[in-house]
Chains A and B, each alone.
Chain A
Amino acid sequence: MTSPPELIWLLAAVAAILIVATLIGEALRARLSPDGSNPVIENLNARIAAWWAMVVLLAIAFLAGRTGVVLLFAILSFAGLREFLTLTEKAPADHWALAASFFVILPVQYWLIGIDWYGFYAIFVPVYAFLLLPVVSALRGGTKDFLTRVAETQWALMICVYCASHVPALLTLQIPGYEGRSVILIAWLIFTVQFSDVMQYVWGKLFGRHKIAPEVSPSKTWEGFLGGIATAVAAGTALFWITPFTPWQAAGMALVTCLMGFFGGLVMSAIKRDKGVKDWGHLIAGHGGFLDRLDSVIFAAPIFFHLIRYFWSAT
């Protein structure tokens, strides 16, 4: 698979944005926090540095083609599932069910996407894993908190494996007149949703006053929400020419994905609150865990996938 030129342009534009962000971050540090004492500026710079790493990794996967993208998201699913299941209710009787989640369900789901078996990967986790994994736990005994345990494990699989796997699944869509360029759909989706997250953070930090759900997430404000989503929808719309969408369609899709992304952040924050943690993990400096960064993409990807499949795809 050769990389479409639009992809190269998008990656170059993202690199340019990151260069500007890096310069701003360093200037702020030099001006306000030369000794590294301002936690907000240190966190900002850590986030920007992590963004560089994430963009480079994504770019390598994009250039490696379908195998690269499927593999990257399988690894991200693994890391996300590891974070999610760390916090869920479990008993020794669940050991095989949990091991099967990592070493059977996850690889099979990504293998099905790799071979483009839509009829199976669309129902594998919601039907087969849903019905069969609790059987494994039940056979090993232990009924205390049984429903909580199997429900939380299923939730972990739906979020971290099923929903996340819809990002590489975009590569399997056959859109007339858009052959060989479906990797751009992934790039556009991730760019738009993550740009929305970043812009919500920026607008929120600059103008945030009125909290949307203070109990769930103190950092989500109406100012950040409206400003961030408006900016990201504008950016996603401006990129309509790399997508199969008209400008209006691009605006609609950007709005839907950004809203889903916001909902993802909200729901995943509520789960973190419930479990008494601030972040899902610690491996991405400045951001927290993999799920802290991926929550919005995970919520947006399946809806984005199904809208395109219904309205644009030939199959």
Chain B
Amino acid sequence: MTAGLPATIPRPVRAAAAFVMGKAISLFARIVTAPRAIWAGIEPTPRQRVYFGNHTSNGDFVLIWTVLPRAMRAQTRPVAALDYWLTSSLRAFIGRDVFNAVLIDRRPEERNEDPVAQMVTALDEGASLILFPEGKRNSSDERLLPFKSGLFHLATRRPEVDLVPVWISNLNRVMPKGEVIPVPLICTLTFGAPLHLAPGEAKDAFLGRASAALLALAERPMA
């Protein structure tokens, strides 16, 4: 596996390149999807949060990142699959330098770091996180796949952090899996009321509640 730009490139140059690339990716996302944020149950204030959304496209976290106010963007890190983002030097540059992703390994037999521990470390450093609890892109006919347990473990370890559901609509139509050219369509991101783990709440009950909260945003009538 490669690790982004060669390490010999000086830090300021890397940082500048990452800044420009971030702007370019955001601009492209805006041109293609004109993303619209609807804050339904929570305001865009700079509190520490874990945004968890439905996962239909690799552009999901880019859209969430793009619609956040500028000051919040810098401290919001997507949680992404290392086994995808480190497979080419361009992906690695985008994942690491541009979005400062928390890269976790989805393959238990290969990894030497616990994904939940990595996320907790990032939270303790003051970052907010963007997380897709389905674990992989949903290309099925179901609106939402069953959640993986990571969200529950995160809620258990750091119960004070707001868990904010974010429903992303239409992005699967912009860029269905396997297509190369995106179709420009307006995407809407609905941010819902924050969740916390209830005292003594069991894993399945909590994940069911989180999943239902996310789905409820999808079924919310359009304004």
Give the B-binding residues of A (Cβ under 8 A): 78-79, 81-83, 85-86, 90, 92, 95-96, 98-99, 102-103, 276-278, 281-283
Contact = CB atoms under 8 A, between A and B. Distances in A.
B108 interface: no
B183 A85 contact: yes
A90 B173 CA distance: 9
B109 interface: no
A95 B183 contact: yes
B185 A82 contact: yes
A51 B136 CA distance: 44
A282 B36 CA distance: 7
Nearest to B169: A86
Interface in B160-202: 170, 173, 176, 179, 181-186
B59 to A, nearest CB: 15
Contacts of A278: 223
Given A90-B173, A282-B36, A283-B34, A78 B179 contact: no
A283 B221 CA distance: 20
Given A79-B34, A85-B184, 4 more contacts: A78-B184, A82-B186, A85-B183, A277-B222
Given A99-B183, A103-B181, A281-B186, A86 B222 contact: no
Contact of A102 (B173, B184, B223): B184
Interface centre among B173, B184, B221 (most CB of A within 10 A): B184
Nearest to B139: A92
A82 B184 contact: yes
Contacts of A81: 184
Contacts of B182: 99
B179 A95 contact: yes
B5 to A, nearest CB: 31
Nearest to B221: A276
23 contacts: A78-B184, A79-B34, A82-B184, A82-B185, A82-B186, A83-B186, A85-B185, A86-B170, A86-B185, A86-B186, A92-B176, A95-B183, A96-B181, A98-B183, A99-B181, A99-B182, A102-B183, A102-B184, A103-B181, A278-B223, A281-B34, A281-B186, A282-B36
Which one of B176, B181, B186 has the greatest number of beta carbons of chain A within 10 Å? B186
A116 B221 CA distance: 45
A76 B41 CA distance: 33
A99 B179 CA distance: 10
A92 B179 CA distance: 10
